[in-house]
Chain A
Amino acid sequence: MLVTITRPGLVRLGLCKLPPFISRVSLTEASNQKKKKKKMTVTNSGIQYAVQIITKHFGNLVAKVCETLLKSGPLNLGALIRSTALTPQQVKNSLLILVQHNCVQPFTQESKAGLKVQYMAVYDNILHRLRFAKFLAVVAQELDDDCKQLLAGLLEHGRLTQQQLMDRANQKSKSNSSQVQNAAQDNFIRLVTARFVERCPAPEPLLEEAPEQEGPKKPRSKSAKMAQVSETIEQRVLAAARPMEAIRFLITTNPETDDPSQKSENNSSSMSVGEKRKFDDLDIGEHGSNDKEVILWRANFEQFIRCLRHKACVENVRARHDDGAAVVLRAVLKATRMQETKVKTDYSVPLKMGAIYNEVIDSAAGRNLTKVSVKASLHLLCGAPPVRGGYEGEGEDEDEDEDEDVPYSIDLKKIIELLQNDEVESIVLKRYGQDACRIFRLLTSQSKPAGQFFETDKISVDALVDKKETPKILYKLWKDDYVHMEKLSLTTAKQSQVMVWKVHKSIVWEHVLDEMYHAAYNLVKRYDHEREENKEVTNTPKEKRVGELEKKANRFLGVRKIMALSLVKLDDALMLFHDF
């Protein structure tokens, strides 16, 4: 394996492609280990942060169970009890809470001893718990405040039947009129239609053996393999549990089955969050006999993340280009939202000019846009001219009518990537300074995802950084894992070692994400500490806070504000790197 580097001196001598006398010095042990660590899907800091969230929301016991599942992957009840060293009842109760709140997904796996139920932590859903305010804001904006109230109940309780939701709405409005009931019913339908609410996944889906995963790929190291497999298991379980698209958002409109059976169910659990019902599910659930008719609903996190992703894209386009382009992008995304098959889609669903224009002038912000300006924005977003592939039978000549038929698809991945770049660059800038940031941008500006090697001197010239400073800056970046370095030894020339550098984006990005989890954990931890320190102040009634106490109270107010805001922003960044 040889590395091609373009170094002025070498090119001059016709040695651009390194001849065999240049050998690659093996990487240091440390950097090898670092690499391996990065392969894990969820990092230690990520787990630490997730456990912190669960501890704050559900207490230590539940957190212990959750942590064990996050760290060791899917486990059955027996194994879970053994590894947590808790009583069976404690583990069971914890699991009930976690399942109820969609943080754990049970599944059935065939083993020698027959079918066995395993429990798997759903990492993403745990992190979503801190985003409920954002999800509610999305609904308030897209639908209205009543829908938001309804969703709030679902978020609070994790999973509810439609009837439980209706009852809750009734209780909230403190009147039991049929009007309220009807309005709540309508709002529920709106939430489901907009796919903000979905049917809960199957309680214990059967996970079939992975077809070729454990096949011939022997040489991979054990740890890497484990990470790989567990990742696929998570995806496979979630896919197996997800209701078919056809019924995922289907509301049974049959009032007879809706009312009596579910009401009786409710009475027994007396609105206690539906935990009781779920409890039955766990115990007898294997053959799932008694609750065939009961349909549980939950918030569809996927749709919320999709909305937030779209929003981030639109805002980025607004910041980089103009309002017009942002309006057009929003219209395209709004029109195609339902057709998107996954959240992290690379391109927006292709849409023709006519449909886009209709959607644009439908929105308040786009009412005054002309077709020409919309087209200009589209060209800006898609990179003109748009792809014509797959539409045969159309001539090459550029007719206006034909333009109508050209579907536009916007590269969303690129927009997200730019946002991610901004975030990482801002860190590099703040930590290592302007010169380092320029170098980092130079190394990341390469189209190859794994980066391209640059020789130290070339970096100095291209990034216009002092030749003497360049190696020092690079060394600092390398030490903190922001750049990757390899030494090439030239065995014939006097100058025997050449260092080449590159930024391996996916590795660095994962590293940044890990630090972000760490930072989020620290923020929460510090906030708890501050709250504890200021207990005396917050426990004193407002009017009695005078002198030193008042000063302290004001400071704590400031602390709370800045920390809450920082956490909200940091969480945006977490989504940007993990979910978008």
Chain B
Amino acid sequence: MSRSQGPSALKRKRLDSQSGSLTEHESKLYDAIRSKTDMGMSLQDLRRETGLQNNLFTKAIKTLQAKQLIKEVKNFENKTRKHYMATEFEPSKEITGGAWYDNGQFDTEFIKVVKRELVKVIYDQENATLAEISQAIRMKNFLTVNLSDQELKQILDALVLDNEVLKVVSTGMGGYKAGKECYKCCKRREPNLASMASIPCGVCPRINQCTPDGIISPTTCEYFKKWLEF
């Protein structure tokens, strides 16, 4: 969900001229908030940073809000905490939770779709850099929202953790510059491993309580019974 940033340059100019009419406290406060760009600042942090007296501080905040120079945004990490940001910025993903949250809900389905598409793209190209993947995704045009490179990278990193995709550094031989990060699909391995995970004890939640002659024991174990049902 990339937020359009096009007209902001124009806007900024107008705002800058407006900020001239602010009092000393107000501009101090405004500068502090603006300096944090799309991250904004919480009330507590603002108070600490500006060091303004309580009543002056509250008044300045109110004025700035009234002049529509700053706005209050919801921080998804802590909804009760007041968070301010200059109006010209859209809250960053650290504040909203990013593309993966839909109205505060983690969007598992959406992630699943994006993951599947990314794997497809990488599989088709064998090796691909982030830029190439991003390009291919745009060309495919399957998403209603645009994912930034940063967001794509987040998904790719998750795929690496999923063991679906491998992050490799080019040696300079395969047409990429040496040291360039590429992604490629993992080789599908035969499941000859997982020797522990394929037996009941390997995944038993009660193995710590299991003793040879105890209430939970291998001879009376229900998991074993199920496993050995043919």
Contacts and interface: CB of A to CB of B under 8 A. Distances in A.
Contacts of B187: 319-321
Interface string A477-519: 0000000000000000111000000000000000010011011
Contacts of A523: 199, 201, 218
Contacts of A566: 195, 198-199
A426 B193 contact: yes
A423 interface: yes
Contacts of B155: 464
B194 A423 contact: yes
Contact of B194 (A426, A441, A525, A529): A426
A319 B190 contact: yes
Nearest to B189: A319
B180 to A, nearest CB: 15
Contact of A431 (B190, B199, B203, B228): B203
B152 to A, nearest CB: 12
Given A525-B219, A570-B195, A462 B157 contact: yes
A29 B199 CA distance: 32
Contact of B201 (A419, A522, A555, A569): A522
B41 to A, nearest CB: 9
A442 interface: yes
Given A423-B193, A569-B198, A379 B171 contact: yes
Interface residues of A, number: 60
Contacts of A469: 106
Contacts of B202: 427, 430, 515, 519
B192 to A, nearest CB: 8
Contacts of A422: 193-194
A572 B201 contact: no
Q: How large is the interface on B (under 10, 10 to 19, 20 to 34, 35 or more residues)?
A: 35 or more
B66 to A, nearest CB: 27
B144 interface: no
A449 interface: no
Contacts of A522: 201, 210, 218, 221, 224
Nearest to A562: B228
A81 interface: no
Contacts of A516: 196
Given A518-B210, A519-B207, A522-B210, A495 B78 contact: yes
Contacts of B108: 466
B91 to A, nearest CB: 14
Interface string A17-58: 000000000000000000000000000000010000000000
B158 A423 contact: no
A558 B230 contact: yes
A519 B201 contact: yes
A518 B201 contact: yes
Contacts of B227: 562
A529 B227 CA distance: 15
A537 to B, nearest CB: 14
A442 B230 CA distance: 38
Contacts of B44: 493-494
Contacts of A462: 157
B196 A570 contact: yes
B16 to A, nearest CB: 24
A18 to B, nearest CB: 17
A426 B212 CA distance: 26
A253 to B, nearest CB: 44
Quick one: which of B76, B218, B221 has the most chain A CB within 10 A? B218
Given A464-B100, A464-B155, A554-B230, A526 B224 contact: yes
Interface in B90-133: 94, 97-98, 100, 106, 108, 111
Given A466-B108, A525-B218, A555-B230, A427 B196 contact: yes
B33 interface: no
Given A423-B197, A441-B161, A515-B207, 15 more contacts: A423-B193, A426-B197, A430-B197, A431-B205, A461-B98, A461-B154, A464-B154, A516-B196, A519-B196, A522-B201, A523-B218, A526-B221, A566-B198, A566-B199, A570-B199
Q: Which 5 A-B pairs have the closest CB atoms?
A: A519-B201, A466-B106, A426-B194, A569-B195, A522-B218
